[in-house]
Structure 1
Amino acid sequence: MDLLTQTRTIDIVRVVTDLGYELHENRKIVCPFHAEKTPSLVIYPQNNSYHCFGCGKHGDVINFYAGVANLEYTAAMHELAFNYLPDYKPELYRKGHLNKIQAPISAKPPKIALPTDTNAYVYQPLHSTIYEDFQRICTLQPTNAVREEAWQYLLSRGFSETTLRKFRLFIVNDYQAAQAYLRRTYSLPDLQECGLFNEKGNLIFYRHPIIIPYYRKGHIVYLQGRVIRNPSETVSRYQFLSGVPVELFNADVTDLIKTGQTLYVTEGALDCMTLMQEGMPAVSLGSATMFKREWMKLFRRFEVCFYFDNDAAGQKAARDYGDLFSQYRISTRTKTVKEGYKDVNDYFSKRE
């Protein structure tokens, strides 16, 4: 392996911390290349690189050290090798021109406190920026047969145009164009970290063009895709973000309703939207198996009513969650979809 390739494998996190920079949440540091107070430079250990969302500087571990130490790329490569590669021979470079790594800054940047409550809602600005940009470019795509079919399908599920616009559902009309835009605009590690792209570097919503955005405090914090109509045996009905924990759908409604009021809990987002359209405040778990205990604090003020699918799994989940909520002294009850209907949306869209 040549020296350049070897040097590029030196752990950028180790170099950054050895230089005196403090890693904050989401592997961010205060950027050394422009003046700022809030960290905007992100370290990517997956490919040993960095990118600053404030000034646009980016590159590999050698670029980073070259910029911080005010060296040319070749000199920075040799100095990193001198410090971190045990087999490096100093005679390869000009004698007396290799320095030990030390912090080139006069003082460490001010420490930013990390959240102490690990169960608290944490806003991920970069993730939300990417999700919202994805929504924007999909909304701007020309109308085509995919959009028309998807929109008509949603209307056939009993949703009004007003409801669909209120929840800001959108359609991936042109998958290739959307994927190309995201790859041009953001780094692949960022796209993978926020769950939009898989390990192969592809946008995950290839067969799921109906996109359901999850909002919290006015920002998109999660996305869920759905197939148009019924899926085939080899394709799942829903596509969740890759490797990203699911959020509670429509969680902001908990800030709007009064203490003691009934809050309905559904399995799917479309069921939740149906109840909201009927004037019944609701949230969705995304799936009956996806409940997270840190959501429990959102339910403490309300009378909780589980309104799950009309199948064995849905009813078992309602019983299990009833037992769980009782441990937190939260009052619950269960409402069952009438026989002959499979879920909340099916009932409300087909009832006479």
Structure 2
Amino acid sequence: MFIPQNIVDDLRQRDCEELADRLGIEINRHKAYCFLHSESVPSLSFHPSKKNVWHCFSCGKGGDAISFMMEYERCGFTEACEKLCAIYGMVLPSGKPTYVPKRRLTSQSVSRRNNLDFDKPFDTEIAEWLLDNLILTHNAQYFLFEKRKLNEEIIYKIGIKALDDSRTISQKAWRKFGEKRCRASGLFGEKGYLSFWVPCIIFPYRDRKGNLLGLQSRYIGDDKKVPRFQFLSCQKTHLFNMPLLNEIMVDNDLYLTEGVTDCLAVLSSGKAAIAIPSATIIPEDDLSLLEGYKLKMMPDNDEAGWDGFMKLRLALAKKGISIFKEDIPAEYKDYGEWYSSNRDFNYEDKTE
């Protein structure tokens, strides 16, 4: 459906804090618990003077009222505009749309949601079935092996998969598990397709016993407006690559990286590594598992990397665990860039 430009311009100027209130998000002093991830301290912020702007200081998401609705409802641009028009009583060329916001999120319900990580439980059976029925696509292989120059054996051992088009696999899942269960699983959006921006790479998060805890995607398309990393809203965040802890002895070196792709680069270089999801997402419940290891970290060469390292060091210190910082050359942004820039590998030769 075509959204007239004058309506788009109007929606972009709407007060984001007022919109959040209309959607039932409890706000205190221009702050709220972010609905995109678990957290114990409100990090979703609204600027008192720039009212058409929102920003989360934890996950980094932000934008205007349209992007807020896209993230809140996990929908596309057009659908977000339609929902906003319904909220503000704006009539589109096709007529006035209807929209019922989600239930009100109070501070107590958000706190419960952040402890359990949303109302819908993570459906392990469906998620495992998805991994079993996905492959590592050509796009994903090019990204992982040519651009990032990662070790193939490690990628396949961890069980990393990819998705170029969610329609076919989504339809198969609905036929196998039924509409009711798929909708309740938290894995699918309103239109019945998997809640991942495609094309993407999918990383499985497992506990030490290998049980699947969640999925994270890494968008590898060209749309600059699409978030690069995405968690399903039905899961709690955890450390990545926890099964590795069964393979290394306590007192050994263990690298803790900022994000999955850096973790894969460190693993590809022959070192033991696990990862926190990002510099702003630290799964504190899992940190106790790291006790006894000689933890090391190579933060990104920017302010966010340093802040993330200090935040992680503090979280570990509260559990009596130390971590040591190692530097990467100043000309590289992060370890992944340093690693890939110093590897000789030709993807085309490998695929011939």
- TM-score tier by shorter-chain length is 0.5 to 0.7
Deviation string for 1:251-308 (max 9, x for gaps)?
1112222121221111111111111122211111111111122112101111221223
Conserved? CA contact 1:248–1:283, under 8 Å: yes
Match of 1:191 among 173, 182, 190: 182
Structure 1 unaligned regions, length at least 5: 1-118, 140-145
Give the match's secondary structure for 1:138. coil
Question: Which residue, out of 131, 138, 150, partners 1:148?
Answer: 138
What residue is the counterpart of 1:107 in the other structure? none
TM value normalised by structure 2: 0.58
1:262 counterpart residue number: 253
SS at match of 1:254: helix
Matched letter for residue 249 of structure 1 = F
Q: Which residue is 1:221 aligned to?
A: 213
May I ask how many residue pairs the two structures share in their alignment?
Answer: 224
CA change 1:191–1:288 in 2 (3 A) is farther
Query: SS where residue 256 of structure 2 aligns?
Result: strand
Structure 2 partner of 1:282: 273
Closer, same or farther: CA 294–189 of 1 in aligned 2, 3 Å: farther
The match for 2:305 is: 314
Give the superposition deviation at 1:178.
0.6
Report the Cα offset of residue 186 of structure 1.
Answer: 2.0
Q: Which structure has the greater CA radius of gyration?
A: 1
In the superposition, relative to structure 1, how do residues 338 and 211 fare at CA in structure 2: closer, same or farther (>3 Å)? Answer: same
Structure 1 range deviating more: 184-193 or 157-166: 184-193
The separation in 2 between residues aligned to 1:242 and 1:125, in whole angstroms, is: 10
Work out whether residues 172 and 178 of structure 1, in 8 Å CA contact, stay in contact via their aligned partners in 2: no
* Distance change (3 Å), C-alpha of 1:130 and 1:274: same
TM-superposed deviation, 1:193: 4.7
Secondary structure of the residue aligned to 1:226 is strand
Distance 1:175 1:193 in 2: 18
CA contact 2:137–2:164 (8 Å) conserved in 1: yes
SS at match of 1:131: helix
Matching of residues 334-345 of structure 1 within 5 Å: 334-345=325-336
Aligned to 1:136: 132
Is 2:163–2:200's contact at 8 Å kept on the other side of the alignment?
yes
Higher relative contact order (CA 8 A, sep 6+): 2
Q: Which runs of 4+ in 1 moved over 3 A?
A: 187-195
Q: CA 1:261 to 1:204, structure 2 compared with 1: closer, same or farther past 3 Å? A: same
Residues 182 and 259 of structure 1: CA distance in aligned 2, closer, same or farther (over 3 Å): same
**Residues 208, 225 of structure 1: 8 Å contact kept:** no
1:175 deviates by 1.9
> Which consecutive unaligned segments of at least 5 residues does structure 2 have?
1-114, 344-352
Distance 1:340 1:190 in 2: 49
Preserved contact between residue 198 and residue 242 of structure 1 (Cα < 8 Å): no
Which of 248, 252, 255 is the aligned partner of 2:243? 252
Assess if the C-alpha contact under 8 Å between 2:284 and 2:315 holds in 1. no
Q: Which of 119, 123, 130 matches 1:127?
A: 123
Q: What's the counterpart of residue 348 of structure 1?
A: 339
